[in-house]
Amino acid sequence: MTRIYHYLPLLLLLQTTWFLSTHAQSRLTAEDMAKFVPSGDAYISGGNCFRLTEAMDWSRGSIWYREAIDLKSPFVMELNLVLGCKDRDGADGMVFIFHPYPTMTGRPGEGMGFGGLRPSLGIELDTWENEHLGDPPQDHIAILQDGSPAHWYNLAGPNIVPNLEDCRPHRIYVSWKPDYQLLSVAIDGVERIRYKGDIINEVFDGISEVYWGVSGATGRYNNRQEICFEKLEFAKVAPLAYLMPSQISQLKKQNGLLLERIQFPSGQVRLNDATTFELDKLVRYLKENDAYAIEVAAFTDSSGSESGNQRISQARAEAIKRYLIGKGVASKRIYAFGYGESNPIASNATAEGRAKNRRVAFSVFRIVP
């Protein structure tokens, strides 16, 4: 049981990664394009292009990639964008958005579809000066966070760039290098902004899998805003986790399966990386065996009050249930129970025994049709 974990680093190394259109010149295929969900006024305007807004007031459109990407791995996005033909009276711009929620768009207008999204990171290409947000009068680029288009909360910028509203396509190159914690954006071959920082922990509070999209908006002034992908290259962690046959047979027994890396520090409910790695094994099993429902039974040791233990064990079972639902297991197939300090399997007199009693047991049973 423990031996497998000695090989874990190796297994993690072997995790498959896959790439979309890794050739510099290759355009995205129709299949790649189908991975984007357009919302608002956005639509596929032909080939590898999306129109985000028309040249009309109060238009908003965004596209979201269906699958999360992992910020622990590098990514590159290369694209052409058109920010319209109206320079002096054109607006508002686009934002490349990263955040943990699929297909969720923020406030339009000066918020450019990014406003209010939290936690989030946004790369804005802003063509309209909103003085109260600290915008410079010229077109500019900035790296924003937490749904705030105001520049006092910038991670980087605003940096003034040559006029982008000239009817012409501009080449945008976005790259994230986790080894150097470096996010960099070039426009027409010149790096215009960079941010060096621990984005995963500082912006996303430890979450490395995020969704991404691009949004554009107009307000009282407008422009036709369009984006054409040339290259997308990123790694997505494939589900590697699976249960061993002996664990599956334990799962079908009444006492259930104990996964030893599913542990909660005393008094805490939050799921850590090791725990979610284990839970992904159950997700895979449940997806491949849809005739089964699962019971999640959480227990505590006897430290603290009985009622407190009851409450926290229920909260932990519910947290696990929410995680499984988030990974696509139907809610009606999951039964979450907190049993508090009842049914100890070891002595509560020793630290070792208490650690054993703080456990979550999983058992599956056939759903009666």
Interface residues with Ca ion (CB under 5 A) are 87, 126-128, 130, 135, 139, 163, 165
When the beta carbons of 53 and 357 are compared against Ca ion, the nearer one is 53
d(CA 17, CA 205): 24
Residue 90 Cβ vs Ca ion, minimum distance, rounded to whole Å: 6
When the beta carbons of 141 and 243 are compared against Ca ion, the nearer one is 141
Residue 16 Cβ vs Ca ion, minimum distance, rounded to whole Å: 41
- Tell how far CA 267 is from the center of its chain: 27
When the beta carbons of 162 and 326 are compared against Ca ion, the nearer one is 162
When the beta carbons of 224 and 231 are compared against Ca ion, the nearer one is 224
When the beta carbons of 38 and 149 are compared against Ca ion, the nearer one is 149
Burial of residue 189 (CB within 10 Å: 0-12, 13-18, 19+) is: exposed
Residue 88 Cβ vs Ca ion, minimum distance, rounded to whole Å: 7
Residue 283 Cβ vs Ca ion, minimum distance, rounded to whole Å: 42
Range 24-43 burial, b when 16+ CB lie within 10 A, else e: eeeebeeebbeebebbbbbe
When the beta carbons of 126 and 280 are compared against Ca ion, the nearer one is 126
Residue 326 Cβ vs Ca ion, minimum distance, rounded to whole Å: 34
Sequence-distant (≥ 6) Cβ neighbours of residue 226 within 8 angstroms: 45, 49, 50, 51, 52, 81, 82
Residue 229 Cβ vs Ca ion, minimum distance, rounded to whole Å: 23
d(CA 359, CA 301): 9
Identify whether the C-beta of residue 123 lies closer than 8 Å to the C-beta of residue 191.
no
Pseudo-torsion of CA 117, 122, 125, 130, nearest 10°?
A: 40
